[in-house]
Amino acid sequence: MEHQIRYQRECDPAWTRQILSRPGCERLMSCIQCGTCSGTCPLSLYMDFTPRRVVQLVREGFRDDALKSQTIWLCASCYACGAHCPQDIHITDIMYTLKRQAIREGSFPKRFPIPVLAQEFYKMVRRRGRSSEFWVVLRLMLRTNPLGLFSMTRAGLALMRTGRLSLRRERIEHIDELQRALPD
């Protein structure tokens, strides 16, 4: 992602207030920018913005920068950032909130596999109540890297032979109750 100077006119304070109203994001404004979250994050080395920087982008209302950041997708949900935060900010919850909004708005690279995996997993669980690794991975690869299926064939067949990968698509009983509980 290109890092460039941002101006106050590009901020969206209403968006920041919207994020603050989400569960787990209420303490966002108490961040003192100490950098503990970034220092304890095992994946910050691979992120385009550190967790500290994403928190600041959200606080200032730089919506597009925060939602298009790869950082939100690389968060491993290990909770190290929140566990060590001196202000008790639930940074992982903030990352999840940003992920959900980015998925709803399509604010991520189309062939970037992590949000596509999240979408396909959710669709399958919503439709059937269970996930099937084979079908989730197949749909993921078809949407992000169809040719990559060829390199996975050998491993897939070996897993099937040993009974560790199934083509079955199971469905839970009373799926209608789950579907009513989950948002579209």
pLDDT tens for 92-112 read: 999 999 999 998 888 876 678
Does the pLDDT value for residue 1 go beyond 70? no
Does the pLDDT value for residue 23 go beyond 70? yes
Q: What is the pTM of this model?
A: 0.76
Beta-carbon contacts of residue 68 (< 8 Å; ≥ 6 apart): 1, 102, 107, 108
Which pLDDT value is given to residue 9? 76
The stretch 153-181 carries a mean pLDDT of 92
Contact between 150 and 183 under an 8 Å Cβ cutoff? The reply is no
pLDDT tens for 125-158 read: 999 999 999 999 999 999 989 999 999 999 999 9
Does domain 8-105 match CATH 1.10.3720.10?
A: no
Average pLDDT for the chain: 91
Side chain identity at residue 149, one-letter code = L
Sorted by where each begins, the domain ranges of the chain are 8-105, 113-181
